[in-house]
A and B are shown apart, each in its own frame.
Chain A
Amino acid sequence: MSGDRVSGTGRIGAVLRFQAYRIANRPDMVIGVICLVALAFLVLGPLLEIIRDALSLQPYDLAYHPDGEVGSFSLFHLERVFVSPISKALFYRPLLNSLAIGVTVTAVAVSLGSLLAWLLVRTNVHFKGPLGTLIVVPYMMPSWVIALAWLALFKNDRIGGSEGLAAGLLGFQPPDWVSYGFFPIVVTLSLHYFAYAYLLMSGALATVDSELEEAGAISGMGRWQRLSRITLPLLLPALGSAVVLTFIRILGTFGVPALLGLPVRFFTFSTQIYNSINARNNGDAFVLALVLIVIAVSFIWINSRIIGVRKSFVTMTGKGFRRREINLGLWRVPLTILVWVFVLASVLLPLTILLWESLILLPGDYSLDNLTTYFWIGQGNTNLAYGEPGVLLNDGILNALGNSLKLGVSAALFNGFVGLLVGYAVVRGRGTRLSRWLESIAFAPYIFPSIALGAIYIGMFSTPLGPIPALYGTFAILVLITVVKNLPFTSRTGIAAMLQIDRSLEEAARVLGMGWFKRLVRIIMPLSASGLISGMLLTFITAMRELSLIVLLLSPSNMVVTGVIFYYQEQNMPQHSGAVALLLVLVIVLANVLVRLVAHLAGARSLASNAGA
């Protein structure tokens, strides 16, 4: 008996040892489990939290339920939002507004972006290089900066006071529908998101092999047939993703509708969530946020049903690959001019208007002798702008700029790292349930429209949560939410990068006795660097210009530049808001150039050293 028991424990010990050995040799599983738990906590936890709050009485509701107990189960918010007299104002009309904006902007931005992508990738328009660089600048500009420029240009006498540029220079008042509400919201958002759609579509177009189309031509297909039977089906997944991604982001956008909608009382979902949170009426806000999430999820689901491909649309192979430019012939010059005019206008017009705004001493006076550099380098005169010193001498602004940079860099680094780990765990664990779960949950933050995620995090992290202290008002919460929100992109980049690294490389290193960490640093990181760096750069840009996501979480101790611009805009200090917005765009563009330059140089050097060896 005793011998049996000994051998029994010995067997168990052996099994455990074997399992330990297996686990130690499956770092992807260890990482996978850790990532899965952490992400479930950061993504699903908040979701449960807001469902709970949405279904229970909140302190604010006591006015209607004086005898109610805070925290007790209640359908009060659901009733209010869906079937009460205020539902129409609180829910249905903002919903229709948000959907109308979402559909229109998506249609405009995706068609524009695809058209430009096609022109730049597949045709022989002139000066593609600089055009390709310039065209992404609108994506680096916060969309509401374009809205600021719009207001400066088309403000009319409905909101009185100093005249807008158009009224001041041309002497007529733009009608309300041009100045505020649906139309300008659609235009300004489209001017931002076309660049986003361009980025998504140009990537996909670049990977469509021209040989496939040529094969079609050889088998007697006409131009239209080739387009409809070969090119479009190949692009459809990318197009579908572009539509879904753009649409969901627009649903969650807050800055533009807040700026352009209020003067004509045009409310959207995001502005209603913001108002409810501000009134400390969390119940309503959370129900609205949940509806947004449901819309986003159904949109993704419909997309995946129609197109059938949810995941990667990139069809890179190791085989021969050619891309042939279509000769535009007679159209080449006019199209080149058209594209250039459009891109230059969408980049330079807002920036020029903001620059002008920032140089005007008395708002509304557009004569040349009313120009001043006071708002840039003034020392702070109590008679002007509440004595706020000029932008370049203003500690508050420089501080916020520092915070924004800190946020951008830390989010990019964390995202790069987490994205790499997720990519590693997903790719090396391919086929396992863990891998599938991890991949889905890393994509999950995408379904949270920005403003909704902000609303959730404010509720979740305002009190200590297990080992995590209350993060409300800290810088950490900004980094956390930015990392989580950008995870779908970076994990996708991580997965794509890992897919390109064959297992055999790691196996060879293991045979040589390299530990996992060393393999990560010496093999995986260098090989995936280029993909990761572009992913991180994208995170950096997004983080720097983010407002919707963090507007609810900002306080003076963690103020970032976008918050400052919003504040100046609300305080009616157009010169300051214009100047700071310009400064922000400048910093983002510069950082972008700098990183690309460094990456380029580093790439060149490593290439050179390889050649030397």
Chain B
Amino acid sequence: MSGFMGKIGGSAKAILFAALMASPTLAVSQAASPEVEAWLKAAELGPYAPEAENWDAIVEKAKEEGEVVIYSASGRIAELVEPFNALYPEIKVSVFDLGSVKTVEKTIREQEAGIYNADIVTTGNSGVVINEMLAGGMIYNYVPQAYVDRIPEENREPLLVRINEAIVIYYNTEANPDGPPISNIWELTEPEYKGRVAIIDPMTSGSTFMGVATIVQHADEMAAAYKRYAGKDIELTDGVPDAGYEFFARLLANDLVIFKSGSKLVEATGTPGQEKPLIGFAYMTYISKNQSDGFVNAIFTDLDPASKWVYPTFTAIAARAPHPNAAKLMTAYLLGSLELNKDTVLTPPFKEGKSMELLQGLAPYYDPGSVSPRSDVPLPPGGEIWDEMKGWTVSADFMQSEGPKLRDFWLLFSSL
């Protein structure tokens, strides 16, 4: 966590605030009940994790358990059912594709109600996931031992990251034959882009909400970028605390178009033959829709002050999961095969044959917009741009303490 925090720099006020907020929220953490304690012991999780894990025994027990239930914020997990069953026909996989909001809500409600259906919970929304669910003992971190050395610490502590993705900005290449129409993000707040910038509703999309929060947390960088763009200090609108918020206040005042879904947004920006297509904030992974849906989208890769806002999707084992060993096995599967290394040559299609066998749970996410938490996975075609693009992340504490205020801000400034 400390390395993670170190990278942020940024808004001193925000960090101070986050630090102040961290203690009361983390205080929610409760001592595990005797039942949970017994479950942890039997499942060899948390404090009862053995020195050396006996993987073969875990696989055997997983087969005996015969089932694994996944609550997932991402629908693509469902694509793994068949290939997983090809490896382990004894284990039935049930995937609940819930979206991030419902995954969090369902897990918390069920845990509070004493309903233990889920084995694996995989979702974004770090604020709640880390400060409420992990701290509250509703989920437990589990990293298969064989993978520990292959995953940098910030991607497995306090909670294992399943995949890192990002919010980026899309534009239509056909309407902009000379390349990216803007170079500084503040240009989007100009009258020229009135009603021509789009975003997925942050009130319903957890990932977009994190993207917005990331920008807000980096208020100082946003202020500096404004000065580079306009040549003067930014003047804040009444009631707006800093340049991070100010950016969205101005976007909303500039008739920002709000979409219900990311696929609709990238269709809007990327459909060829449009006279004045939208420019929009959406999930980077949707760049792959250029191939599947015939869009002509491109991503701004060199924006001042940043071009990608990274949000992690975590994976954890739910407290009192009925199939803890199957959950462990599935966690390893989601991270990809151990045979995979930097020099592995993978050939498309990635979701079939040998590539699928090696990538395993990474296969549905093997595109330029998604990055494995492992440091030893070869880049997907076009994946170089991930490292080229300057990116920011948001801290879980900032999400937790500032999230509700950001929501109120959005509500206030987005309503007409």
Q: Which residues of A contact B (CB under 8 A)?
A: 59-64, 66-67, 85-86, 88-90, 93-94, 157-162, 258, 262-267, 275, 278-281, 362-364, 382-383, 386, 462-464, 470, 472-473, 555-557, 569-572
Contact = CB atoms under 8 A, between A and B. Distances in A.
A262 B201 contact: yes
A63 B403 contact: yes
Contacts of B269: 160
Given A63-B21, A555-B98, 19 more contacts: A86-B408, A159-B198, A160-B269, A262-B201, A265-B415, A265-B416, A266-B416, A275-B204, A278-B101, A279-B407, A462-B112, A463-B114, A464-B113, A472-B109, A473-B110, A570-B261, A572-B261, A572-B264, A572-B267
Query: Main SS of the interface on chain B?
Result: helix
Interface of B: 20-21, 24-25, 28, 75, 96-98, 101-102, 104-106, 108-110, 112-115, 128, 132, 195, 198, 201, 203-204, 239, 257-261, 263-264, 267-269, 271, 274-278, 292, 294, 351, 400-405, 407-408, 411-416
A174 to B, nearest CB: 15
- The 7 A-B residue pairs with the shortest CB-CB distance in the complex, in nearest-first order: A160-B268, A470-B113, A161-B268, A89-B415, A63-B404, A161-B267, A572-B264
Interface centre among A64, A160, A161, by most B CB within 10 Å? Answer: A160
Given A63-B21, A86-B408, A279 B203 contact: yes
B276 A157 contact: yes
Contacts, number: 137
Nearest to B256: A265
B258 A263 contact: yes
9 contacts: A63-B403, A159-B198, A160-B268, A160-B269, A161-B268, A263-B258, A265-B416, A363-B267, A556-B98
Contacts of B260: 258, 262, 569-570
Contacts of B96: 555-557
Contacts of A569: 260
Contact of B261 (A89, A157, A555, A571): A571
A473 B96 CA distance: 12
Given A85-B412, A86-B408, A159-B257, A555 B106 contact: yes
B278 A160 contact: yes
Nearest to B400: A63
A571 B205 CA distance: 12
A473 B268 contact: no
A466 to B, nearest CB: 14
A288 to B, nearest CB: 12
B267 A158 contact: no
B264 A161 contact: yes
A168 B405 CA distance: 42
B75 A90 contact: no
Contacts of B294: 362
Contacts of A160: 198, 257, 267-269, 271, 274, 277-278
A370 to B, nearest CB: 13
Contacts of A364: 271
Contacts of A281: 404, 407
Contacts of A60: 404
Contacts of A159: 198, 257, 259, 264, 268
Contact of B97 (A161, A262, A556): A556
A93 B415 contact: yes
A158 B278 CA distance: 8
Contact of A90 (B405, B411, B416): B411
A63 B97 contact: no
B402 A63 contact: yes
B140 to A, nearest CB: 20
A379 to B, nearest CB: 15
A160 B279 CA distance: 10
A266 B416 CA distance: 7
